[in-house]
Structure 1
Amino acid sequence: MQYLFENQSFKISVLTITIGALVGCSQQLQVITNNETPLPKVQFIVVDTSQDNCFDNSGSEIICPAENNVLYGQDAQYLGVQASYTNNGDGTVTDNNTGMMWQKTPDYDHYSYENAISYCKNLSIAGNTDWRLPTIKELFSLADFRGEIVNPRNESENTPYIDTDYFDFEYDKRMAYIGQYWSITKYTLGPVHDTEDVEAAFGYNFADGHIKAYETGYTFGTNNKNIHAPGNFVRCVRGEENVYGVNDFVKNNDGTITDQATGLMWQQSDDGVRRDWQTAIVNAKTSNLAGYSDWRLPNIKELQSIVKYGGKVGSWPAINTNIFTLTGSGDTSDPLWFWSNTTQGDFKYTATYISFSKAFSKKNSSASKYYDWHGAGAQRSDPKSGIPSDYDMSSENATDLVMTKNYTLMVRTVK
């Protein structure tokens, strides 16, 4: 071991430098230049959604049903890896499951996509300067599905989709639904919205609980700036890159796939049947695929864990097609939308799904043409029952295509 400084009272190793013990020595030891902590080690652990109530098809809260009930199998009835955070008392929060360290308090300014990247790159908190904009899977790891918007005009009645015991959050003063936070993850499969040339990147809305693609301010496939550059919020992260969200799939040659990164076993191919939410739940819990009897409908964070973000233009679906087989056509009559067992907090008569194909919307309720408005890999919600014409899923910005029957990929936890 080589020593940088030595006298009769102490030695300092290049491998073990303890700043606190060296009062008055900082000028002598030029190697000690900052207070940065080591880059956190990261694990791909799918943290539970924290949803703790059960609901019927109309959205009414119910006592979680018994195992022989058709509505048994909801998110709240399966205890996953529970969220665990540490407030470090220095403006940062550590996720004790994933290892990632997060910015506790955003500055609540709206940033364009490129400015969001620069903001994190230039951020210094608690002596750490290696902050970055998170991927969409990293960002979604913070999602807490106890959230809901009860009254858009009175934020005190609302609950954000993030644990405010640890993370600071403010609703946008213009509208309670505006709570979009950028991720670094660009949508590469095609343009979005109704101009057919808008480049987008994914974000998560901690106000209303959805993953959607938002305009970066560039024209798709070019470096040309355009007028579509809305501002989103930013919450930066630090930790090892290219770990969280990286799958390690193994084919079991029995109709199942094991993700060795997360410890989840998946149905390899959907069965080609679109079902309403209740029937999807029943189908999963009664399955004996590959001899296992503990299949279930995945929660929304488990389902999002197998999305393949990125890829070449037009390479739908947003999943590893060397591993999984999705049978639908992916068009507006048969979109590749897959149920989770997680109820959407804002509209509890709906359940969340992942769109592995285009996330179709149209400009408004009177428009006729649907576009890939939010991108493959978006997380939205559909009514649990009924027929699509019974519902109008319109907002001020778009009218989503509505389905009341979606596909399923079952999951089980590897023992």
Structure 2
Amino acid sequence: MKTKKITLTLLPLLLFTACSNVLSMLGLADDEDDYTTAYALAALWLSQSSSGCTYNVQSTTTTTTSGNYAVVDTAQTTCYGTNSGTLACADSTTAAQDGFYTRNAPSYTVNSDGVTVSDNNTALMWTKSPDTNGDGSVNSSDKLTQLAAYNYCDSLTKGGFSDWRLPSVKEQYSLMNFGQGRDPSSCTNCTSTLLANKTFIDDSKFTVGFGDTSSGERLIDGQYATTNVYAGKIFDTDWGVFGVNHVDGRIKGYECSSTKTFFVMCVRGNTNYGLNNFTDNSNGTVTDSATSLVWQKADDGNSYTFPGAINYCNSLSLGGQSDWRVPNAKELQSIVDYSRAPDYSANQGPAINSIFTTSSFTNEEGITDYPWYWSSTTHVTCGDSNCTTDDVKYGVYLTFGRALGYYTSAIQDVHGAGAQRSNDKDDVSSTAGASTANVGGGTFYYWGPQGDILRDGSNTANRGKMYVRCVRN
């Protein structure tokens, strides 16, 4: 689908134009086999564009029959204990942790123009700095709404190229680095200087955008804009767009508004990046020919702690193979289908292709929902006020169901299906600052500004279910 620049001056007219005309403008009438779905997407575009977000031009097509792309390694080469310390990756009890495997190690080249960076794995080229206003510094004045970010990249000429685009969430997440990244959320003395070489992106190749504390932002407000508008609603009522945070190491949905702004990196090349090519092997496995990964078709319906998930996949025999493991965070994110959501009537269900079988369960709100899945990646956080030590008790997970939070005394989908968050690997009741609540579906733990609901999969009362879907090369 050809990218179309969207201008704010057109919005009043579009709001009074029939959706059929919008279909023609966006090229959806020709590109969508299901006209009903296309019509719904056009209506979605109208409502989102008026609130700071653009129609999601990249999420309507999620599969390919010919393209491929490399899932870049997380760069995590250390294996960690459940609650503290490091472990020998050769130990059989940790052999399926992220740090044990290296596949497509990150490799970047700063090009001779000095303003672009090439990813040697993915064939994507990136703008080096989010300095959108060109004043030589990166701060809050460089941030744009998602709609403005879309148009900025669409109009950009840099490094001798003019075919730049705003990245999808999968493209932006390809730069995530869990090897050097340290989440500074609890680091009271941290500054951008103290966090050199501790960001969730290779800051030897890219300029990092930190939250501008002089403008009232938090240091961790380092969210980058993507094209992926959430198919459902965040906070249950608001249109949202996914942002990738290279300061605290997360993907979350944010409200589409004229006030929410993001850092911006533009990308070009490999337009097949993030598109899957699934085949059901009729033996309980699914092959993604785009990434050369083979997946467990159906989760086993059981709940696991982080170490329990590692042990389960490490001992799994399926499809005539026994070399299964828990996927790392970036591998797991590669099978998220951002065109789907539990509450999106046009494409309802878990945020994964329907070729997979996904469990359902009753969530903390007392309604049917879909699981969160463990990755094998540890979300390392700053262990003290100056980030000189590591806290390693948190595991990275992806939400294929609602990313729930207890916010304003109600359970809501605060970050969207397809978010990437983290919590304690085996005991969320020990999370510092966690609280409990009960809205009728049972007591649960929650924590953080949006009241992220915490689950550890321990099958212990009040501590939530966590699932796993195994992978092999």
**How do 1:7-18 and structure 2 match up within 5 A?**
none
Secondary structure of 1:191's counterpart equals coil
Structure 2 residue aligned with 1:124? 157
For residue 339 of structure 1, the aligned residue among 363, 374, 382 is 374
Structure 2 residue aligned with 1:153? 189
| CA distance in structure 2 between the partners assigned to 1:185 and 1:269 by the alignment | 26
| CA distance in structure 1 between the partners assigned to 2:188 and 2:371 by the alignment | 31
Report the CA distance shift for 1:185/1:169 in structure 2 as closer, same or farther (over 3 A).
Answer: same
Does residue 352 of structure 2 align to residue 319 of structure 1?
yes
User: Percent of aligned positions with the same letter in both sequences?
Assistant: 38
8 Å contact from structure 1 (residues 53, 61) kept in 2? no
| CA distance in structure 2 between the partners assigned to 1:85 and 1:181 by the alignment | 19
For residue 85 of structure 1, the aligned residue among 72, 84, 108 is 108
Does residue 233 of structure 2 align to residue 191 of structure 1?
yes
**How do 1:269-348 and structure 2 match up within 5 A?**
269-311=298-340, 313-314=344-345, 315-321=348-354, 323-329=355-361, 331-332=363-364, 335-346=370-381, 348=392
Report the CA distance shift for 1:311/1:384 in structure 2 as closer, same or farther (over 3 A).
Answer: closer
8 Å contact from structure 1 (residues 361, 373) kept in 2? yes
Structure 2 residue aligned with 1:23? none
Deviation at 1:380, TM superposition (A): 0.6
Could you report, residue by residue, the CA deviation over 1:60-88 in whole angstroms, capped at 9, with x for unpaired residues? 231324333x3332101011111111110
Higher helix share: 2
8 Å contact from structure 1 (residues 135, 185) kept in 2? yes
Deviation at 1:317, TM superposition (A): 0.3
| CA distance in structure 2 between the partners assigned to 1:65 and 1:300 by the alignment | 17
Structure 1 residue aligned with 2:260? 230
Secondary structure of 2:279's counterpart equals strand
8 Å contact from structure 1 (residues 152, 177) kept in 2? no
Could you report, residue by residue, the CA deviation over 1:7-47 in whole angstroms, capped at 9, with x for unpaired residues? xxxxxxxxxxxxxxxxxxxxxxxxxxxxxxxxxxx851101
Structure 2 residue aligned with 1:4? none
Report the CA distance shift for 1:256/1:43 in structure 2 as closer, same or farther (over 3 A).
Answer: closer
Deviation at 1:350, TM superposition (A): 1.0
Does residue 219 of structure 2 align to residue 176 of structure 1?
yes
Secondary structure of 2:447's counterpart equals coil
Structure 2 residue aligned with 1:247? 276
Give unpaired runs (5+ residues) of structure 1. 1-41, 218-227
8 Å contact from structure 1 (residues 112, 231) kept in 2? yes
Could you report, residue by residue, the CA deviation over 1:120-158 in whole angstroms, capped at 9, with x for unpaired residues? 112221221211100000110010012013535322332
Does residue 128 of structure 2 align to residue 104 of structure 1?
yes
Does residue 415 of structure 2 align to residue 374 of structure 1?
yes
8 Å contact from structure 2 (residues 404, 412) kept in 1? yes
Deviation at 1:119, TM superposition (A): 1.2
Secondary structure of 1:157's counterpart equals coil
Structure 2 residue aligned with 1:143? 176
| CA distance in structure 1 between the partners assigned to 2:94 and 2:75 by the alignment | 19
Would you say how many aligned residue pairs link Structure 1 and Structure 2? 351
Structure 1 residue aligned with 2:69? 44
Opposite residue 145 of structure 2, the aligned amino acid is S
Structure 1 residue aligned with 2:98? 75
Report the CA distance shift for 1:283/1:229 in structure 2 as closer, same or farther (over 3 A).
Answer: same
Deviation at 1:404, TM superposition (A): 0.4
8 Å contact from structure 1 (residues 114, 216) kept in 2? no
Structure 2 residue aligned with 1:402? 454
| CA distance in structure 2 between the partners assigned to 1:348 and 1:96 by the alignment | 30
Structure 1 residue aligned with 2:472? 412
The TM-score with structure 2 as length reference comes to 0.71
| CA distance in structure 1 between the partners assigned to 2:88 and 2:320 by the alignment | 27
For residue 400 of structure 2, the aligned residue among 344, 348, 356 is 356
| CA distance in structure 1 between the partners assigned to 2:188 and 2:159 by the alignment | 35
**How do 1:11-26 and structure 2 match up within 5 A?**
none
Moved over 6 A (4+): none
| CA distance in structure 2 between the partners assigned to 1:207 and 1:370 by the alignment | 27
8 Å contact from structure 1 (residues 203, 214) kept in 2? yes
| CA distance in structure 1 between the partners assigned to 2:269 and 2:375 by the alignment | 29
8 Å contact from structure 1 (residues 352, 382) kept in 2? yes
Secondary structure of 1:192's counterpart equals coil
Opposite residue 363 of structure 2, the aligned amino acid is D
Opposite residue 316 of structure 2, the aligned amino acid is S
Secondary structure of 1:371's counterpart equals strand
Give unpaired runs (5+ residues) of structure 2. 1-66, 132-137, 382-390, 435-445, 458-465
Secondary structure of 1:115's counterpart equals helix
